[in-house]
Chain A
Amino acid sequence: MIRIINGEVYDPINGINGEVRDIFVDDRSIAAAGAGGTTIDAAGMVVMPGGIDMHCHIAGPKVNIARKMRPEDHRNDVLPRTQFTRSGVGGSIPSTFTTGYRYAAMGYTTAFDAAVPPLAARHAHEELNDTPVVDKGFYTLMGNNEFIMQHIASGEKEIVRNFAAWLLNATKAYSIKLVNPGGVELWKSLGNAHTLDDEVTGFKVTPRQIIQSLADASIELNLPHRVHIHCNNLGIAGNWETTLETMKALEDRQGHLTHIQFHSYGGTPGGLFHSKVVELADYVNSHPNLSVDVGQVMFGDTTSMTGDGPLGYLLYQVTGRKWVNVDVENEEGCGIVPIEYKDKSHVHATQWAIGLEWFLLVKDPWRIALTTDHPNGASFANYPRIIRLLMDRGYRKESMQHVNPKALADTTLPDLDREYSLYEIAIITRAAPARLLGLAKKGHLGVGADADITIYDKNDNKEKMFSVPRYVIKDGQILVEDGHLREDVSGRTFYVTPEYDLEVEKEIRKYFDAYYTVEFENYPVQLEHYLPRREAVMCRDIK
């Protein structure tokens, strides 16, 4: 039993906005009342649910090749072992132990990897098992799956839905992820998809059909988190039209558009960017079926890693730095390039401003989540600074002094005076991601919720405040005090088990025999072995 008394509580899901009230923890959950045990006097402190990162890249082959590729990213940011924590390295692609510890030390207790190729699901689970403290899961890539494209083309909606369900079960993933739908397949012959209606050579489908079919599947399967979309044309000037088209293509279907910052550019391909956030945010504001996370860019050196192969090559051409490309049989691809965002660069400054515009122009905080698309826009270690940029207009204006003025002038950022409240911060970093993910016991402090709690000392400098929580409680255990981890624990992995018609396996087996290099029987991830600590999230009708 833990009693947290006298704290200023921010729990948006339960409509609690800074009231001083006591929180009771019984075992692993929030309780209505209780006595005895530990008491934390949180007078003058802010109490929030544990943070949730709904889109980051922390596990799986792409992340790991990036680690292998960048010793220089690691050797100057090292973590010695302690009596109870493992050693590791940081940088933009931290080792797994460091990733878990640093999320926890920052008050984050849940994180989802956003792009795992199904064929490598086993690998992602192995890494997640070595990522301590946080609860986790991943979305698996389906937007360029050749089996899916073939059956969309032949109009076999049932088979597509059953296959998607089978694949989620086989990979023990949490949701369906689309990355540059159709474009990554085209990249396998050096092409790309430039509009929603480009035909994917050899498959007679278009990105539009892929988006609609898999959005339907995610709804029909009642996935707790609906389809998670990385649009076509990421990072290309003028891509905002594609983004708008994608939103329209969803019609009234629920869908999440990720790292929207990277998809909000006006201009002509190859040329300079300018912001189209106003237009896109208007559309999002007026369409409650849509949600976004930002993918904020922060200045400095980081590593771009994406399932978007052609984008990886584009970044290699722009930066001239080392480049990894991996094409995954019948499924996906990926591209990795180190990148340094410079405040004096017109393009980078525009990206920085666009991200902030998104935060400030979306009216409903319940449909926007704070992310950097770690590590693509910046490392997750930047979240506290981003929070300060949102809460502190003065700091924001001061920061604008250092970035390319021409770029800023082409955005509305200088005119935006909105400041986030602690309540709104609690929404975009906790409550909203929990809701968008359909995690009923996360992101709030109501009775029965998981006892993941972060307690901050109040501080006018919000970056300081959010960098070093006073306490972090995970599953009812006090793990962090004053930013120091007191104990090493393992979180659990969330996954879904949607039902499907077993008949589909006959089709799939045939497909494996013809085109895969692993046996159908050896493909599915063994639940007991690879998810030793797990929680299946039910797929039920949430309407």
Chain B
Amino acid sequence: MPEGKLTLITGRSTRQGAGISTGKELEEYQTATTVILLSPIDMERFGLHDKDAVRLKTRFGSATVTCRSGDLPAGIAFLAFGPAANQLVGGDTQLSGMPDTKGFEIEVEPIPA
């Protein structure tokens, strides 16, 4: 995995899913969709601690989220579906109608507190 790069998986989570009903404006949903999970190894690699802010970048856009250490293989990060994740996804669906929302490369930039 090149310097500063990670493979991002976006997907469903229970709190994100419940938030669809209870209200996306509520803090629970906001949090559920703006916390990126990193492997402990990557947390250390980027010198990050839980709740640190990071900027995620792809060639399509960028999003600022907070990070948390999670049970993930090194090099892989997870972010729940939501406005933040969508900022990073492109529009080329390769004849499928489906954008690349899982397993794409992102740049991770720690934001100094």
Verify whether A and B have any Cβ pair under 8 Å.
Answer: no
Interface residues of B (CB under 8 A from A): none
Interface residues of A (CB under 8 A from B): none
